[in-house]
């Protein structure tokens, strides 16, 4: 859920901090108070378009921060796939800094692209209204809605289709490798045989390069090694330790501590003698064999040339060799393998077509049930003569989700042909359509936070009451945030926020504050009574709030 919203220097907002609650969060305020800026700030933070001159006058930048709390294990898993690691409390922080020349979006202090931001926030929140995040505008979302509705029924079938589709694609990729004419095939075979022969003739051995390089370096730096060892031998082979040992030995019996020093000098003398023997032995073994040096150089050149052509190491060369042997085997048995692959593709395509057909039939049957429920919900929301259905089209190709393309269509006027939802012009209508869909999907939709903008446009009376009840129903399983001017909806609030605009003559600011129970009633009275709030209006507001509590 969206736990907190922090806004700074955005339009009329100098600074605003809001702590949202679970359930139904309602925002109200006088016309022109800046209610749309609050929802707009969320939209901008989620990757929406940044309006021109949105930075508050006199400020260098605007800043928006959304703090989400995620507890669902599946959501946490999906976030992890995007490399988003919530803290121990499941907190995910999304921020946007807007500067005159550019904007910067971050998730948990890590800068993200607009695409990644949309993907991640799409898991957490959905905004419905006249905004870019209005997911019903995208036809691709309609099939997702249907599949979510029938998730339990179609899950295993969809998994089967996805795995079969992956196998189908792999076979098609394999078949594409057989698209060679005879001349090209023979030419490739000759070339691969040459490469295999070149590697095999080298008779490479594991660990050979390291051993040869060590010996080569010894030859290459032989002069330097000899000079350094000679100097070291001279430095070590002095009689200073021996003289010191003789002097100490003469007085060692006088003091136990001197005896300890004598023993240490004796050990040092023994170590230095051993080192001298090692140096002398190494220098005795050193000799420059010009023929061996030349052979080492030639062998290393051969290995390096093969690495330049076939891999950066001997291990990669060996792996490359195995791939070439396999490819040569394929080319030698080209026609047989091609025919076998074509047969396998036909078999798996028949299987895939059958599975997609099953899913398509299931979807069409479920769509009848789903659209009827949505249609009934729309009638409750003052769509009197509405027609609502889903149209299907078979794609000319398979996908991991079947071969269906589906789209919701609607007619809101008698005799009018159904049109795609994207063609519905009214933002208020679009919000209520989504509200009807969300009510039906309330038990299966996994988006934690829903924001409804302009949900009450053009409605009143009984319709407003129905809208409020549906919102309250959705809020049982989701966090809902909305702006309203209708008391019927505001009365259902689990948390109520007032948006105020103040002016001191020099500047105008918009603020937001949480209302107490008593203040909620006073705000309801304002929505009911307008300019004059009488005690009767207040009593009416108290009664409306009480009745709303009984309907939750």
Helix (H) or strand (E) holding 265: helix 256-285
Exposed e or buried b per residue across 66-91, where buried means at least 16 C-beta atoms within 10 angstroms of its C-beta: bbbbbeeeebeebbeeeebebeeebe
Is the Cα torsion angle 247, 249, 253, 258 positive or negative in sign?
Answer: positive
Per-residue confidence (pLDDT) for residue 133, from 0 to 100: 39
Report the distance separating Cα 73 and Cα 75, nearest Å: 5
Contacts of residue 331, Cβ cutoff 8 Å, sequence gap at least 6: 185, 188, 189, 192
Phi, psi of 345 (to 5 degrees): -65, -45
Q: What is the per-residue pLDDT for 424?
A: 66
Q: Compute φ and ψ for 165, nearest 5 degrees.
A: -65, -40
Which domains are present in the chain? 1-124+447-552 (3.40.50.300), 199-331 (no CATH)
So what's the pLDDT on residue 138? Answer: 77
Question: Six-digit token pair at 34?
Answer: 């800046």
Question: Consecutive 10-residue runs of the chain (552 residues): their mean pLDDT?
Answer: 93 90 91 77 87 89 94 89 87 93 91 89 76 62 89 93 96 83 84 94 91 80 71 75 80 83 85 83 69 84 92 92 90 84 94 97 96 90 88 95 94 86 67 81 80 75 84 90 90 92 78 91 87 85 86 66
How is residue 404 written in tokens?
């269906």
Q: Are 481 and 2 in contact (CB under 8 A)?
A: yes
Q: Coil, helix or strand for 8?
A: strand
DSSP-assigned letter for residue 416: P
Contact 495, 464 (CB under 8 A): no
End-to-end CA distance of the chain: 20
Measured CA to CA, the distance from residue 42 to residue 7 in angstroms comes to 9
Structure tokens at 471: 């919102």
Question: What order of strands is seen across the sheet that includes strand 24-29?
Answer: 125-128, 449-452, 479-483, 24-29, 495-503, 508-514
Beta bridge partners of 24: 480
Rounded Cα–Cα distance for residues 263 and 300 (Å): 50
Contact (CB, 8 A) for 392 and 360: yes
Give the C-alpha separation, 63 to 11, whole Å.
Answer: 11
- In terms of DSSP bridges, do strands 508-514 and 13-19 run parallel, antiparallel, or are they unpaired? unpaired
348-357, long-range: CB < 8 A, 24+ apart: 348/164, 348/167, 348/168, 348/171, 349/168, 349/398, 351/164, 352/161, 352/164, 352/165, 352/168, 352/398, 353/398, 353/403, 355/157, 355/160, 355/161, 355/164, 355/402, 356/161, 356/398, 356/402, 356/403, 356/404
Rounded distance, CA 245 to CA 427, Å?
A: 100
Alpha carbons 101 and 254: distance in angstroms, whole number:
86
The two three-digit tokens of residue 111, written as one number: 């800068």
pLDDT number for residue 395: 95
Closest CA to 93 of 226, 4, 167: 4
């Amino acid at each position: 859920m969206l736990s907190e919203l922090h806004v700074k220097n955005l339009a009329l907002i100098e600074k605003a901090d809001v702590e949202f609650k679970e359930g139904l969060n309602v925002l109200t305020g006088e016309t022109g108070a800046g209610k749309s800026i609050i929802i707009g700030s969320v939209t901008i933070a989620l990757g929406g378009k940044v309006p021109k001159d949105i930075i508050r006058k006199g400020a260098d930048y605007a800043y928006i921060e959304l703090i989400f709390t995620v507890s669902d294990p599946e959501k946490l898993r999906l976030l992890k796939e995007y490399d988003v690691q919530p803290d121990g409390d499941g907190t995910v922080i999304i921020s946007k800094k807007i500067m005159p020349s550019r904007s910067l979006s971050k998730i948990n202090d890590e800068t993200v692209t607009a695409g990644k931001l949309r993907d991640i926030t799409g898991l957490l929140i959905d905004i419905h209204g006249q905004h870019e995040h209005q997911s019903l505008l995208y036809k691709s979302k309609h099939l997702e809605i249907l599949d979510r509705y029938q998730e339990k029924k179609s899950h295993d079938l969809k998994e089967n289709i996805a795995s079969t589709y992956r196998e189908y694609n792999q076979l098609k990729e394999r078949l594409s490798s057989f698209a060679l004419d005879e001349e090209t095939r023979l030419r490739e075979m000759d070339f691969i045989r040459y490469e295999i022969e070149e590697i095999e003739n080298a008779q490479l051995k594991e660990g050979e390069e390291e051993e040869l390089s060590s010996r080569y370096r010894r030859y290459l730096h032989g002069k330097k090694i000899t000079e350094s060892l000679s100097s070291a031998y001279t430095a070590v082979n002095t009689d200073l330790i021996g003289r010191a040992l003789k002097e100490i030995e003469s007085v060692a019996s006088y003091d136990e501590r001197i005896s300890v020093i004598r023993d240490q000098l004796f050990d040092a003398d023994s170590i230095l003698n051993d080192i001298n023997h090692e140096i002398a032995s190494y220098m005795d073994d050193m000799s420059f064999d010009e023929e061996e040096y030349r052979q080492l150089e030639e062998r290393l050149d051969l290995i390096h040339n093969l690495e330049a052509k076939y891999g950066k190491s001997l291990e990669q060369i060996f792996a490359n060799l195995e791939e070439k042997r396999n490819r040569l085997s394929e080319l030698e048995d080209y026609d047989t393998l091609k025919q076998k692959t074509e047969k396998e593709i036909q078999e798996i395509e028949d299987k895939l077509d059958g599975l997609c057909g099953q899913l398509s039939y299931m979807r069409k049957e479920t769509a009848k049930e789903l659209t009827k429920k949505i249609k009934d919900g729309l009638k409750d929301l003052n769509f009197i003569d509405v027609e609502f259905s889903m149209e299907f089209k078979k794609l000319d190709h398979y996908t991991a989700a079947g071969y269906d393309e589906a789209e919701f269509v609607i007619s809101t006027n008698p005799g009018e042909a159904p049109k795609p939802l994207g063609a519905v012009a009214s933002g208020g209508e679009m919000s209520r359509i989504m509200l009807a869909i969300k009510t039906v999907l309330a038990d299966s939709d996994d988006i934690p936070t829903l924001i409804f903008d302009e949900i009450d446009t053009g409605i009143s009376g009984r319709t407003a009451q129905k809208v409020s009840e549906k919102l309250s129903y959705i809020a049982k399983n989701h966090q809902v945030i909305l702006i309203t001017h209708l008391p019927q909806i505001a009365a259902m609030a689990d948390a109520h926020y007032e948006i105020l605009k103040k002016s001191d003559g020099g500047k105008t600011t918009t603020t937001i504050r949480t209302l107490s129970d008593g203040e909620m009633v006073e705000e309801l009275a304002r929505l009911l009574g307008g300019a004059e709030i009488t005690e009767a209006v207040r009593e009416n507001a108290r009664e409306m709030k009480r009745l709303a509590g009984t309907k939750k």
